[in-house]
Amino acid sequence: MTGRLEETTFSAPLADYLSKPPAKGLRLYWLGQAGFVIDIDGRRLVIDPYLSDTLAEKYRGTERPHERMMPPPVSADEIAFVDLVLCTHAHTDHMDPGTLKPLLEKNPSAGLLAPRAMRQQAIDRSCVAESRIVLTNAGETVSPLPELTILPTASAHEAMEIDAAGDCRFLGYVIAADAVRLWHSGDCIPFPGLERDVLAHRPDITLLPVNGRRPELSQNGVAGNFSLHEAIGVTRRIGARDMVAHHYGLFAFNTEEPETIDAAIASTADLRIHRAQTGLSLSWRAE
């Protein structure tokens, strides 16, 4: 079945929408950085939410203070009816103790999916019983919810990192439902085998970071991601028709300009590119 993502602006606070149960179909809400609420087939997933000021507190007074360029569009305890929270890796803007704890307290039946290599960080930062945590690795198949399959893929941020047990420290997730499949790469750059592995899962939609890589940041421990050009190329080569560009607009030292993303949207005819924005939802319409 084919389809397309459609953009809808909304004027009510995001909390109003997320206080209600998810509907059938697919709808995406951006939380900033790499975070999304994904309502899919009557289930609510939250991936890589960063809704606190944990990093601003950690880096206050340093040369990279991690002050927010945009406020959180919703607070963690305003997101209800969550079935599963997914973290792609343990960097704090993806696995945030300031977000996970209140989010999982608000949703006591929700599970937490995380890389097996990041088991202890998932336990420590979520403060939930280990029985609520599902650990996984690239190449596995996870079915934590009825009629929903999650297929983890390896990511390299900026390098491929494997622990002593052979588990990837950085993952992406293909989320597969009956009518649509989407791939959130996590933080990632191009590497050999990436497109082959993702292509096997046939995603319709990609959710990709576009903040790129800067040598001066990499030399100081700030890992980069796909550039906008690279993200578009990966999406084309795996056969997806819709791409959502994200991981921009939160930290001034590590972002991409909205105008640059919009220019790519205007100049790309063979691919539907959407710039993730607060106040905008993306829904899947079958064709």
Q: Is the pLDDT of residue 31 over 70?
A: yes
Q: Is the pLDDT of residue 220 over 90?
A: no
Cα torsion 126, 82, 1, 261 to 10°: value is: -60
Give the C-alpha separation, 95 to 88, whole Å: 8
Q: Which residues contact 30 (CB under 8 A, 6 or more apart)?
A: 36, 73, 246, 276, 277, 278, 280
Type of residue numbered 155: S
Across residues 210-232, what is the average pLDDT?
90
SS3 label, residue 133 = strand
Across residues 101-119, what is the average pLDDT?
98
* Sequence ranges of the domains in the chain: 3-286
Report pLDDT digits (tens) over 32-49: 999 999 999 999 999 999
Q: Find out whether 7 and 275 touch, Cβ atoms under 8 Å.
A: no
Average pLDDT of every residue of the chain: 96
Q: CATH topology for 3-286? A: Metallo-beta-lactamase; Chain A (3.60.15)
Q: Is the pLDDT of residue 1 over 70?
A: no
Whole-structure pTM value: 0.97
SS3 label, residue 98 = helix
